[in-house]
Amino acid sequence: MESSIKDIEYYLPENILSNDKLSREFPEWSAEKIEQKLGIRERRIAGENETALDLGQKACEKLIRKYPKEQIDFLLFCTESPDYFIPPNAPLLQDRLCLRTDIGAFDFNLACSGYVYGLSIAKGLIAADISKSVLLVTAETYSKHIHPKDKSNKTMFGDAAAATLICDTEKSGIGNFALGTDGTGYDKLIVHNGGFRNPYDPNAELIEYIEGSYRTNNNLYMNGPEIFNFTIKAVPIVVEQCLERNNVTIDEIDYVIFHQANKYMIEYLRKKTKIPQEKFHIDMLMTGNTVSCTIPIALRNSIDNKVIKSGDRVLIVGFGVGYSWGATIITIN
């Protein structure tokens, strides 16, 4: 059985964090400088009592308004900001959405590669006749992991959720996958404390980890230059592998959506992979890097703006935390 993306919706929290506000906090970076470097003007931040589960629920409600929810027979929830260690978010969301109880539901913990991995799981479930209609939720609130004085990460990341419905179809709309993992990079994008290896430390030391950016080991740490080096090695290879596995050349691809990490880095990657500018999507100005949500947000916006049309072949590539990366080619119906 083949599968395709039937629809995508996303939800952004109401609270806006603009570059103007950030540059008042961190005067050494002007609003223009942040936008020029990262391609980001503002990002949305979840409220104090608003979690990734809440955002995910709102994205799903927008989606299931359009479809009989009784048809959904699998729920996948991708997040690194779950409500609890135990239980996972997926059963809570099944209950909140009043989905059937005779369905499969589980969480998986991935970041910027999460959307591509989610599609690969959905495709596998449908191919194995385990499911006919998978609801894939990607939802993230990195703002809750970031230290309030962390200039570098605060300018980059935004909170969001996306809901994607993947259904069985006669014609394949999700191609073959190229996936990758290299755990040697596990500590380049990490929250050190809070798990069982290193418990949360209320007295954790404040560290100026790069000039003007502070964190403790309870917060998100990103080694930007190392992430940059990893992507320039991994992304060109996975793009090549994905094209080969789908037996196409880049000329036969209508559109390319990379994980919207930041404009500086993905423009560099575009040039390195020789993807023509007119096929390359940049869409993070008003949302920032929303981790596992950047690709579905970009897909939704490109379909709405009629940049992607029915029948277009779109190469999507996710990469980040882990390190973990992946690519596939989807056809929009």
Catalytic center residues = 112, 259, 289
For every residue of 181-218, DSSP letters joined together read E-GGGGGGEEE-SSSSSS---TTPPPEEEETTEEE-TT
**In whole angstroms, what is the distance from residue 217 CA to residue 36 CA?**
30
Of residues 126 and 321, the one with the C-beta less far from ligand COA: 321
- Which of 91, 104, 180, 224 is in the footprint of ligand COA by CB under 6 A? 224
The three-state secondary structure class of 37 is: helix
**Side chain identity at 37, as an amino acid letter?**
K
- Which of 152, 218, 302, 331 is in the footprint of ligand COA by CB under 6 A? 152
x/- letters, 302..331, toward ligand COA (CB under 6 A): -----------------xx-----------
Of 95-103, 126-134, 232-240, 260-268: span binding ligand COA (CB under 6 A): 260-268
- For the CB of residue 127, give the shortest distance to ligand COA in the complex, in Å: 29
x/- letters, 70..109, toward ligand COA (CB under 6 A): ----------------------------------------
**In whole angstroms, what is the distance from residue 161 CA to residue 124 CA?**
23
Beta carbons of 93 and 61 less than 8 angstroms apart: no
- Which of 148, 199, 225, 276 is in the footprint of ligand COA by CB under 6 A? 225
Q: Give the strand order in the sheet containing 178-181.
A: 178-181, 324-331, 313-320, 255-258
x/- letters, 9..48, toward ligand COA (CB under 6 A): --------------------x---xx--xx----------
**Closest C-alpha among 61, 46, 119 to residue 290:** 46
Name residue 326's beta-bridge partners. Answer: 179, 318
- For the CB of residue 156, give the shortest distance to ligand COA in the complex, in Å: 6
x/- letters, 103..122, toward ligand COA (CB under 6 A): ---------x----------
Count interface residues toward ligand COA (CB under 6 A).
21
Q: Which of residues 280-299 bind ligand COA (CB under 6 A)?
A: 289
262 binds ligand COA (CB under 6 A): yes
Q: Which of residues 156-175 bind ligand COA (CB under 6 A)?
A: 156
Beta carbons of 17 and 45 less than 8 angstroms apart: yes
E strands, the chain, in order: 2-11, 15-18, 42-45, 74-78, 104-108, 133-140, 160-169, 178-181, 189-191, 207-210, 213-215, 220-222, 255-258, 313-320, 324-331
**In whole angstroms, what is the distance from residue 109 CA to residue 195 CA?**
13
* Residues in contact with ligand COA by the rule CB under 6 A: 29, 33-34, 37-38, 112, 152, 155-156, 222, 224-225, 227-228, 261-262, 264-265, 289, 319-320
